[in-house]
Amino acid sequence: MDKDFCGNHLYNLQLLEGAENIAKKDKDPEVWLKEEYKDNQQAIEEYKRKNYIDPTLKLEWENIKEFREKREEAIIEKLKEVLLPKS
């Protein structure tokens, strides 16, 4: 898949504060995470979990299909949990 094509799909979007958005701009996600969290694996995994990303998945372009599938599934499950009444 093409990076430019994937960049603006729903599964790849995230609401960010201004400073975080500027820091992430044009960096591969895995590079940004290592820089931002000083290679602290536990903090990186927590960030991924909070953002509906499989914490074991490396955020590299070779994994974009798996990332998309897993993140879409996690977002859908969370939306169902929040929006649908419990029966």
* pTM as predicted: 0.71
Q: Give me the chain's average pLDDT, please.
A: 82
CB-based contact 39:45 (threshold 8 Å) = no
Model pLDDT for residues 20-47, shown as the tens digit of each residue: 666 667 788 899 899 989 989 999 999 9
Nearest in space to 52 (alpha carbons), one of 26, 66, 70, 37:
70
16 pLDDT band, cuts 50/70/90, is low
Question: Could you tell me the CA-to-CA distances from 12 to 32, 47, 52 in Å, in that order?
Answer: 15, 15, 11
Amino acid at the residue 34: K
pLDDT at 28: 85
Residue ranges covered by each domain of the chain: 3-83
Would you state the structure tokens that stand for residue 82, as one six-digit string?
Answer: 């929040």
Q: What is the model's pLDDT at position 54?
A: 96
**Which amino acid makes up residue 16?**
L
Please give the pLDDT value at position 42.
97
